[in-house]
Amino acid sequence: MAAMIEVKNLTYHYPEVAQPALDHISLTVEQGEWVAIVGHNGSGKSTLVRAIDGLVDFSEGEVTVAGIKLTPDSVWDVRKQIGMVFQNPDNQFVGATVADDVAFGLENAGIPRDKMIQKVDAALKQVDMAAFSDREPSRLSGGQKQRVALAGIIAMNPSIIVLDEATSMLDPHGRQTVMDVITKLRQSEKAPTIISITHDLDEAARAQRLIVVNDGQQLATGKPAEIFANEALLASSGLAQPFSTRLARSLAQQGSVHPDHYLSDTEMEDWLWQSHLTM
Amino acid sequence: MAITFDHVNFTYQPNSPFAATGLKDVNLTLPDGSFTAIIGHTGSGKSTLVQHLNGLLKPTSGQVQVDDFTLTSTTSNRHLKDLHQHVGMVFQFPENQLFDQTVVKDIAFGPLNFGFDENTAHDMAVQAAKTVGLPDNVLERSPFELSGGQMRRVAIAGVLASQPRVLVLDEPTAGLDPLGREHMMQMFEQLHEEQQLTVVLVTHQMDDVADYADQAVVMGHGEVLKAGAPQTIFNDPQWVYDQQLDFPTATKFAFQLQQKGFSFNQLPLTEQQLADQLADQLPAMDGKGR
Ligand SMILES: Nc1ncnc2c1ncn2[C@@H]1O[C@H](COP(=O)(O)OP(=O)(O)OP(=O)(O)O)[C@@H](O)[C@H]1O
Ligand SMILES: Nc1ncnc2c1ncn2[C@@H]1O[C@H](COP(=O)(O)OP(=O)(O)OP(=O)(O)O)[C@@H](O)[C@H]1O
Ligand SMILES: [Mg+2]
Ligand SMILES: [Mg+2]
């Protein structure tokens, strides 16, 4: 596998803020990989992905995207590779209508008009927003805004997708839709590289790998199950205990048998059933 | 006193080609000191509904009563200052409620505006910032130059510092890290319990509905589809799926266990309820049966 994103020793200070937002952080994301970034509020997650997209003027370190080293000259080539949904969708909208907005990236990429209209329609349908194509993006509900922002990325089909808390205000059905879209994209020929920042641990658990960011550094990385098994790490990085861990503890308090190490939800179900059978 | 909606309709951009229905004939009662969760699909009218509670929106027709305050289409904004003190609202997007030059000034705005002197308001702001877990080094910074979760915390602190009697929370934990989410919900619960605040929480987190609410209102296309205790709402699985809602984590877990052969007298909604019922169906730790 080839590295799609390489961040080396990256440091960034926001103007007039003493503490660095990124502090000599290094990490690699492989081509076609799905990585979830987690960590407490203010740990540097959004700054990190903005830096990868060339939106942050970092002082030290190096970013390479799809083999292109990020410099003021290459920034547009880098951005062409990346489709990003920002944490607040209001910061993202450029079109006067929902359809214009979703079309914006395609138009810039020089896609012919009839093809563009097709792609916009298809993308809006995927997120259940086809009925809103003539509406003003600013006059939508929170979840509708997030759906439109996602449609813009789906239409573009970039080789790197970055979702910065893109599902934080979606209803449960909408969240599931996004997970289904990601699954489908990953099985497609293009199989994009996906970075999703999320505070939803169920969502994070579906990624191939987690990166835990703390104080502008990569505190840990590993398979979701490895990270969730590490209680000390969870506590120190603003993460809560997974449901199965909490259930095991409550069972212990009841004086009942309980697993003594982390199990995923399905493993926990099997474990409980096996224990029940021994009664 | 209580909060009531009496035949409330709301239309966005009325009398224009863009007119859009926000609320349709909403009738509701939220008892004094209750904790109500408002749930429902994207665009179902939750934010529109709760923005009527502090007069940010006024009914196109019908009447909203919030304790001593009455809101109709003709209520003038002059009458709303007392209502703003009475009802504290955390907006869905924190950016939309931040405005001042520094974090501490932003949080102190409420107390200052509602009659506290500068020093007291400042102290209240610093205290509120601590309560919501903001680091000291952000207090003198612009509230717009923060991370998303930090902005959320500033918005919540500003509302708390104003010491409202009714707390309206529109997806208040979106953007908070998991621990922050837990702490914040427990803090709202504590205010509700200790000071009998009436709490109205808009959420997509069914766990919060199960853990904290005594009443849930399900919205759909601008209408109230159902209102009742969480247990009543979740007891009709097919209906819940049809509304694009979900179940609390413990309930979903229980459904899976049911398929394996466990049985539950009452549908567990919380992790504690699940553990209680599971313990009876598992061997004891000392290896003996029960
Ligand atoms: N525009 C800005 N100006 C100054 N400082 C900023 C700005 N944006 C963020 N910061 C600071 O940089 C640090 C990292 O912020 P960042 O937005 O990357 O965090 P995050 O991990 O995305 O947090 P969250 O989970 O709350 O979104 C924080 O301490 C924050 O206060
Ligand atoms: N400013 C506005 N102008 C016109 N229509 C609006 C405006 N704000 C919301 N709407 C519409 O009113 C309906 C209800 O929106 P509302 O924001 O109340 O939904 P919601 O239940 O809060 O959804 P979400 O879970 O996505 O936040 C939606 O169809 C939305 O498109
Ligand atoms: Mg962020
Ligand atoms: Mg809303």
| One-character DSSP codes across B130-183 | HHTT--GGGTTS-TTSS-HHHHHHHHHHHHHHT--SEEEEESTTTT--HHHHHH
Cα–ligand 1 centroid distance for B149 (angstroms) = 8
Residues A113-128 have a mean pLDDT of 95
CATH of domain A3-92+157-239: 3.40.50.300
Considering only CB atoms, which chain B residues are within 8 Å of A265? 253, 256
With a CB cutoff of 8 Å and minimum separation 6, the contacts of A173 are B41, B244, B245, B246
Q: What is the pLDDT of residue A217?
A: 97
HSE, CB side, 13 Å, CA atoms: give it for residue A24. Answer: 0
- Give me the interface pTM, i.e. the ipTM: 0.94
| CB-CB under 8 Å, A143 with B175 | no
Among candidate residues A173, A153, A199, the one with its CA nearest the CA of residue B148:
A199
Of residues A90, A173, A276, nearest to B262 (C-beta)? A276
Question: Has this prediction a pTM greater than 0.90?
Answer: yes
Segment among A38-47, A237-246, B96-105 with least mean pLDDT: A237-246
Q: Is the pLDDT of residue B77 over 90?
A: no
Report yes or no: A42 at the B interface, CB cutoff 8 Å. yes
By CB atoms closer than 10 A (0-12, 13-18, 19+), residue A70 is buried
Query: What contacts B126, CB < 8 A, 6 or more positions away?
Result: B104, B139
Instruction: Report in angstroms the alpha-carbon separations of B194 from B33, B123, B199, B216.
Output: 10, 22, 12, 21
Q: How confident is the model at residue A1 (pLDDT cuts 50, 70, 90)?
A: low
Q: Is A45 in the pocket of ligand 1 (CB under 6 A)?
A: yes
Please, are residues B222 and B62 in contact by the beta-carbon 8 Å criterion?
Answer: no
Buried b (16+ CB within 10 A) or exposed e, A51-64: bbbbebebeebebb
Q: Give the strand order in the sheet containing A3-12.
A: A22-30, A3-12, A60-65, A68-69
pLDDT of residue B18: 86
Residue B18 Cα: closest atom of ligand 2: 4
A214 lines ligand 1 (CB under 6 A): no
List pLDDT tens digits, range A203-229: 999 999 999 999 999 999 999 999 999
Catalytic residues of B: 171
Contact assignment for B279 to A39 by CB distance below 8 Å: no
**pLDDT value of position A92:** 87
Task: Tell me how crowded residue B273 is: count the other CB atoms within 10 A of its CB.
Answer: 20
Q: Does B148 touch chain A (CB under 8 A)?
A: yes
Of B178, B261, B281, the CB nearest to A239: B178
Between B220 and A2, where is the model more confident? Answer: B220
How many Å apart are CA A248 and CA A262, to the nearest integer?
9
Residue in B214, B216, B193, B187 with CA at minimum distance from that of residue B204: B216
Name the amino acid, one letter, at A196. Answer: S
Pairing outcome for strands B223-228 and A217-222 = unpaired
Q: Which of A13, A43, A52, A58 to mutate to test the pocket of ligand 1 (most atoms within 8 A of CB)?
A: A43
pLDDT band of residue A35 (cuts 50, 70, 90) is very high
- The mean predicted confidence, pLDDT, of chain B is 95
In A, residues 63-92, which contact B (CB 8 Å cutoff)?
87-88, 90
Report CB contact under 8 Å: B47, A142: yes
- Residue B286: pLDDT above 80? no
CATH class of the B3-97+165-246 domain in this structure: alpha beta
* Residue B13 to residue A271: CA distance in whole angstroms: 56
Amino acid B289: pLDDT: 46
pLDDT-derived band of residue B290, with 50, 70 and 90 as boundaries? very low
Q: What order do you get walking across the sheet with B166-170 strand by strand?
A: B87-90, B166-170, B198-202, B35-40, B215-220, B223-228
In this prediction, residue A5 has a pLDDT band, given cuts at 50, 70 and 90, of very high
* Closest of B186, B197, B174 to residue B32, by C-alpha: B197
Q: Do A256 and B260 touch (CB under 8 A)?
A: no
- Residue among A21, A113, A115, A188 nearest B141 (CA): A21
Q: Is the C-beta atom of B12 inside 6 A of ligand 2?
A: yes
Q: Per-residue confidence at B287, pLDDT binned at 50, 70, 90? A: low
Q: Are A136 and A144 in contact (CB under 8 A)?
A: no
User: Rounded mean pLDDT of A198-202?
Assistant: 94
Query: DSSP alpha helices (H): ranges in chain B?
Result: 46-50, 81-86, 103-113, 118-131, 148-161, 178-195, 206-212, 230-234, 237-242, 249-260, 271-279
Query: Which B residues, 212 through 271, put their C-beta within 8 Å of a C-beta on chain A?
Result: 244-246, 249-250, 253, 256-257, 260-262, 271
Give the residue on B whose Cα is nearest the Cα of A278: B283
Q: Residue B1: what pLDDT?
A: 78
pLDDT per residue over B90-114, tens digit each?
Answer: 999 999 999 999 999 999 999 999 8
- In order, the DSSP letters of A39-67 are --TTSSHHHHHHHHTT-S--SEEEEEETT
Tell me if A165 and B175 make a contact (CB, 8 A cut-off): yes
Task: Tell me which residue in A19, A175, A243 faces B271 most closely, judged by beta carbons.
Answer: A243
Of B250, B249, B12, which is closest to residue A200 (Cα–Cα)?
B249
- The 10 Å Cβ neighbour count of residue B100 is 16
**Backbone φ, ψ for residue B85 (5° rounding):** -75, -35
Mean per-residue pLDDT of chain A: 95
Domain with CATH 3.40.50.300 in chain A: 3-92+157-239
Residues of chain A with C-beta less than 8 angstroms from the C-beta of B244: 171-174
Task: Give the SS3 label for residue B234.
Answer: helix
Percent of chain B whose predicted confidence (pLDDT) is above 90: 92
Searching chain B, which residue's CA lies closest to the CA of residue A234? B179
- A136 Cβ below 6 A of ligand 2: no
Average pLDDT (A195-200) is 97
List CB contacts of B265: < 8 A, sequence separation 6 or more.
Answer: B277
The whole-angstrom separation of Cα B152 and Cα A168 is: 13
Would you say residue B288 has pLDDT above 60?
no
Å from A171 to nearest chain B CA?
Answer: 6
Report B:35-54 residues touching A (Cβ under 8 A).
40-43, 46-47
The residue written with tokens 């939750």 in the block is B46
Mean pLDDT of all residues in B166-170: 98
CA–CA distance, A92 with A84 (Å, rounded to integer): 9
Instruction: Report the 10 Å Cβ neighbour count for B112.
Output: 18
Does the pLDDT value for residue B231 go beyond 80? Answer: yes
A240 CB within 8 Å of a chain B CB: yes
Instruction: Render the burial of B5-33: b for 16+ CB within 10 Å, e for the rest.
Output: bbebbbbeeeeeeeebbbbbebebebeeb
Each domain of chain B, given as residue ranges in start order, spans 3-97+165-246, 248-290
Which residues lie below 8 Å from residue B203, measured CB to CB, with a gap of 6+?
Answer: B37, B38, B39, B171, B173, B209
Helix ranges (DSSP H) in B2-51: 46-50
Per-residue pLDDT, averaged over A190-211, amounts to 96
Interchain contact, A247 vs B244, CB within 8 Å: no
The DSSP output letter for B96 is G
In this model, does residue B79 exceed pLDDT 90? Answer: no
